[in-house]
């Protein structure tokens, strides 16, 4: 994520999974310069984004 952007937004409908993803990023931020992160269930938080990455996986 180095030099990617200064803000990162994560969205997920599964609250516990989203919390785990945020904890992983916070742990990694101890070792790397990471952007400001925000999380939530509302996809509108990604409005006006220059880059959007959509992933899907099994429950």
Q: State pLDDT tens for residues 43-57.
A: 888 888 888 877 777
- Between these two residues, 40 and 32, which has the higher pLDDT value? 40
- pLDDT score at 58: 66
CA-CA distance, 19 to 17, in Å (whole number)? Answer: 5
Q: Is the CB of residue 17 less than 8 Å from the CB of residue 59?
A: no
Q: Would you place residue 3 in the very low, low, confident or very high pLDDT band (cuts 50, 70, 90)?
A: low
Where are the strands (E) in 1-59, listed by range? Answer: 7-11, 36-40
pLDDT in tens, 14-30: 888 889 888 888 887 77
Q: Is the CB of residue 6 less than 8 Å from the CB of residue 38?
A: no
């Amino acid at each position: 994520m180095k030099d990617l952007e200064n803000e990162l937004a994560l969205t997920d409908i599964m609250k516990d999974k989203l919390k785990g993803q945020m904890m992983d990023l916070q742990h990694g931020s101890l070792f790397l310069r990471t952007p400001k992160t925000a999380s939530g269930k509302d996809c509108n938080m990604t409005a006006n984004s220059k880059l959007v990455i959509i992933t899907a996986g099994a429950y």
